[in-house]
């Protein structure tokens, strides 16, 4: 694990020299890119940028094995793309969140990360309005700051060129989201619809198992 490297770009055309890391490397490299812009999400120009599968129902037990699940899912999705894709794991406007994976970064945190444009034109700390149902309370937040998290697994053969980036201007929010649906555990004898609900549960569990197998490549029988 290497310490993060922080780089600021003034030009609209910018890149990251990943080829340097493959000279003496054995096997694959793992790279996370956190890009902060004022216009929108960042994507790669010379490689395909792909969103990880999201908004899928998975079995409840995944909650206790989420690390193993996520690693397996990423490895399987990388394999499906022939090891030649850059994956988008997160893209979000820092002025609000719904649902909140974590509170948006504060103005002071963004300044520390090199967001030098916050003080331009009086765009310092403001009080944003929370989106309905977001669970996010208003607080000092910056404007015009959009965060993109990219994840790539690469080697000298699958990624023969350095990563070239572009700011797309797309401010649509995205995050990898996996849903756990807990079954009702009440008294089935007190509800006329309980039998039908129980039958539906079995079908739902089968569907969740198939989705998990499709995400991770795990054997359906083992799930």
Task: Specify if 144 maps to a domain.
Answer: yes
User: pLDDT at residue 124 above 70?
Assistant: no
**pLDDT at residue 156 in the model:** 84
pLDDT tens digits, residue range 141-188? 446 899 999 999 998 889 999 999 999 989 999 999 999 999 988 888
**pLDDT at residue 143 in the model:** 64
Query: 81: which residues sit within 8 A by CB, 6+ positions away?
Result: 48, 50
pLDDT tens digits, residue range 51-71? 999 999 999 999 999 999 999
Structure confidence at residue 1 as a pLDDT band (50, 70, 90)? confident
Assign 153 to helix, strand or coil. Answer: strand
User: pLDDT at residue 133 above 80?
Assistant: no
User: pLDDT at residue 125 above 50?
Assistant: no
Task: Specify if 73 maps to a domain.
Answer: yes
- Residue 207 φ/ψ, nearest 5 degrees: -65, -45
Task: Specify if 27 maps to a domain.
Answer: yes
Task: Specify if 95 maps to a domain.
Answer: yes
Number of domains composing the chain: 1
Give the domain extent around 90.
14-180
For the purposes of burial, counting CB atoms within 10 Å of the CB of 77, is it exposed (0-12), middle (13-18) or buried (19 or more)? buried
pLDDT tens digits, residue range 35-44? 999 999 999 9
**pLDDT at residue 53 in the model:** 95
Task: Specify if 1 maps to a domain.
Answer: no
Query: 139: which residues sit within 8 A by CB, 6+ positions away?
Result: 103, 106, 127
Q: Which segment of 85-89, 96-100, 182-186 scores lowest on mean pLDDT?
A: 96-100
Mean of all residue pLDDT scores within the chain: 86
Task: Specify if 209 maps to a domain.
Answer: no
Look up residue 44 and give its DSSP letter: E
> What percentage of the chain reaches a pLDDT higher than 90?
54
**pLDDT at residue 166 in the model:** 95
User: pLDDT at residue 126 above 90?
Assistant: no
Strands (E), 146-221: 146-154, 163-167, 174-175, 178-179
Rounded distance between C-alpha atoms, residue 169 and residue 153, angstroms: 25
Rounded alpha-carbon distances, angstroms, from residue 162 to 19, 42, 113, 154, 214: 6, 15, 23, 11, 31
Of 122 and 194, the one with more pLDDT? 194
Can you give 69-136 as a three-state secondary structure string?
HHHHHHHHHHHHCCCCEEEEEEEEECCCCCCCCCCCCCHHHHHHCCCCCCCHHHCCCECCCCCCCCCC
**pLDDT at residue 167 in the model:** 94
**pLDDT at residue 149 in the model:** 96
Task: Specify if 164 maps to a domain.
Answer: yes
**pLDDT at residue 101 in the model:** 73
Task: Specify if 19 maps to a domain.
Answer: yes
């Amino acid at each position: 694990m290497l310490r993060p490297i922080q780089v600021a770009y003034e030009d609209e055309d910018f890149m990251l020299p990943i080829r340097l890391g493959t000279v003496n490397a054995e096997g694959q490299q793992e790279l996370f890119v956190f890009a902060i812009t004022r216009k929108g999400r960042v994507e790669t120009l010379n490689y395909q940028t792909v969103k990880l599968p999201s908004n899928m129902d998975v079995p409840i037990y995944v909650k206790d094995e989420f690390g193993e699940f996520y690693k397996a899912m990423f490895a399987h999705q990388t394999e499906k793309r022939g090891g030649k894709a850059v994956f988008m794991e997160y893209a979000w406007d820092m002025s609000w969140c719904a649902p909140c994976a974590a509170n948006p970064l504060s103005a002071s945190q963004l300044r520390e990360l090199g967001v030098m444009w916050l003080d331009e034109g009086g765009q310092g700390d403001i009080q944003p309005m929370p989106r309905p149902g977001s669970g996010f309370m208003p607080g000092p937040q910056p404007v015009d700051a959009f965060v993109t998290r990219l994840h790539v697994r690469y080697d000298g053969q699958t990624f023969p060129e350095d990563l070239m980036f572009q700011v797309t201007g797309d401010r649509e929010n995205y995050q990898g989201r996996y849903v756990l649906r807990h079954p009702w555990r009440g008294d089935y004898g007190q509800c006329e619809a309980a039998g039908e609900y129980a039958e539906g549960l079995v079908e739902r569990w089968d569907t969740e198992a198939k989705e998990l197998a499709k995400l991770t490549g795990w054997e359906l029988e083992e799930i």
